Amino acid sequence: MNQWLDKKCKACEGGVDPLSEVVINDYLSTIPGWEYKDLRLSRKFDFKNHYQAISFVNAVAWISHSENHHPMMEVGFRDVTIYYWTHAIDGISDNDFICAAKVNNLLT
């Protein structure tokens, strides 16, 4: 069982340190397909058609609603790129890994 899937995001009002790059890079193996670039966790997802891409966006929106933690999403013709970072600390927190793992879990 992935270490993040049974966790819930914690409300983040700032005042905590972002994860260090060492920890982020260590944790990356727990969210296959994701990368850490430009201070964001990101992954591009490709689909058969636009309808499937939008359905995926809606599934991610449900995770955002459930966790009160929101990504930026770029939607193309048949692809969606998701970016997570914790706005309140302008960096990466466990919340970002929890949501990235739950997004990956949509595809299993």
Stretch that binds ligand H2B, among 11-19, 21-29, 45-53, 54-62 (CB under 6 A): 11-19
Can residue 11 be called a binding residue for ligand H2B (CB under 6 A)?
yes
Closer Cβ to ligand H2B, 10 or 78, answer by number: 10
Least separation in angstroms between residue 42's CB and ligand H2B is: 13
Burial track 51-63 (b if 16+ CB lie within 10 A, e otherwise): eebeebeeebeeb
Taking CB under 6 A as the rule, does residue 1 contact ligand H2B? no
Q: Does 12 bind ligand H2B (CB under 6 A)?
A: yes
Instruction: Return the structure tokens found at 7.
Output: 């966790």
Q: Which stretch binds ligand H2B (CB under 6 A): 8-16, 22-30, 54-62, 100-108?
A: 8-16
Q: Pick from 53, 38, 46, 21: which is nearest to 83 by CA?
A: 38
Burial of 79 from C-beta contacts in 10 A (0-12 / 13-18 / 19+): middle
Distance CA 99, CA 53 (A): 18
> Among all residues, whose Cβ is closest to ligand H2B?
88
List interacting residues with ligand H2B (CB under 6 A).
11-13, 68-70, 86-88
